[in-house]
Chain A
């Protein structure tokens, strides 16, 4: 897919709560094609300490309003600076980067989308693509506490939603892999994005239950296009760039000890 460097305009920047913002961007021309699971490299302007772009996954593409959404967790100086953009500001992005999730062969498959923390971001766009295709995606979303469960109203429009929180303030208490839906339903395919320990636990569940599973990695990146070889993951084919060969991988390709 052709990649673009674009100056996009902020249409909205919503503070979801303390640690998360949802930034919506547009341009006059129709936005390029983007697939669920792909990401953008966003330039951070006006920060003394941020030199590199920040890789942020595509949260949603709204074709009716010609907007691309980015759900940003405020982690360090770069994301904090990005979170200060206002309506009308310009944000420079390089997109779409990497490979997205694979789409199921037919609509009969039982599909589970597991997101943890800000890792729920790509699941919204993926869920919509699956629903459009005629599938019935099921979402299992985990977070530290109720406040960290993001965009639940959006997810509920797309399919069944199950939640877990570590402190029990919403949904079932514990981690996503402890949720009862995993005991009551046999899924054919799992898509997951979130902290690495969570994805490893999900992949382990998939392996033990003979379920196909794709994971979306977020190794530290510089270039985003497969040039600098910084974000490598160890796979059966040796070190490969997460930005170019991923970020989505079938867990079987990875050398995870699970």
Chain B
């Protein structure tokens, strides 16, 4: 058994496999399928200061080797999370991480401040990249200035590990990553979904209620891999790679490109047990290639 442990900020993870926000519920939805404690970190559904109903149905369109979603951050708000969900997940023995979203800087900071008080939540992932909400979300993630402002405001009130989730819907993602690093982020995760669109030709109508939505799944992997490689060279903080990871080989590719950890998202819908299989597959890869630690393959791409 190789050493699979990695560190992200103050976070110690037993292995580099995490779940992507919005694809794994609060973990509990998957406990019939996998031993949650074998996953390095679980990033739960995006949480906002206030309750959000999300966008109208239909919210999903299948695309070749992928899908579009337009959920729009449906959640019951951080206070509901603290009172009703946190008690159910706080004793799961892995890193339970909350994805925090908002539409104004004050909301992000207030939500982060509230979650800072929860003993068994060791990190947050700041979502400055959701393409499915009209106000804010991605607005902060598409300019270096916007990213810097929101990360700084959260950094001031949040004392634990701060991960910032980046949008791929930008001209130069390294610029945003550097801004997040400069404002005090402990890590950046990328990529969030790519803005896309689906049309029903027979009906001459958009498939999604919001017309456009966020694309994920296997089809986005080459783009995500490229961006992770670019960002890993541009910043000194650990990078968490995600986007179209379907199996252990994809995960290893992201780590070779420079990711310290990886997240699995849409693949959970196709194989609800994929997370643990990826962790096992990474171990087999390391043993086969004679590496004693997974840390040896981070950025080990030979070019």
A residues near B, CB below 8 A? 2-5, 43, 48-53, 94, 219-234, 238-239, 244
Contact = CB atoms under 8 A, between A and B. Distances in A.
Contact of A229 (B22, B62, B65, B218): B22
B296 interface: no
B74 interface: yes
Contact of A226 (B25, B33, B217, B218): B25
Contacts of A226: 25, 29
Contact of A228 (B22, B33, B66): B22
A225 B24 CA distance: 9
**Which secondary structure dominates chain B's binding surface?**
loop
Contacts of B66: 51
Given A227-B24, A227-B25, A219 B272 contact: no
B14 interface: no
Interface residues of B, number: 35
Contact of B71 (A3, A53, A229): A229
B169 interface: no
Contacts of A238: 53
B59 A229 contact: yes
29 contacts: A2-B32, A3-B32, A3-B33, A5-B271, A48-B64, A50-B62, A51-B63, A51-B64, A51-B217, A51-B218, A51-B270, A52-B62, A222-B67, A222-B266, A223-B23, A223-B29, A223-B268, A225-B25, A226-B25, A227-B23, A227-B24, A227-B268, A227-B269, A228-B60, A229-B22, A229-B54, A230-B60, A230-B69, A231-B59
Contacts of B272: 5, 94, 223, 225
A162 B69 CA distance: 41
B291 interface: no
Most buried by A among B33, B59, B66: B59
Given A3-B33, A5-B33, A51-B65, A231 B23 contact: no
Interface in B52-105: 53-54, 56-67, 69, 71, 74
Contacts of B273: 5
Q: Which of A2, A94, A244 has the most CB of B within 10 A?
A: A94
Contacts of B69: 222, 228, 230
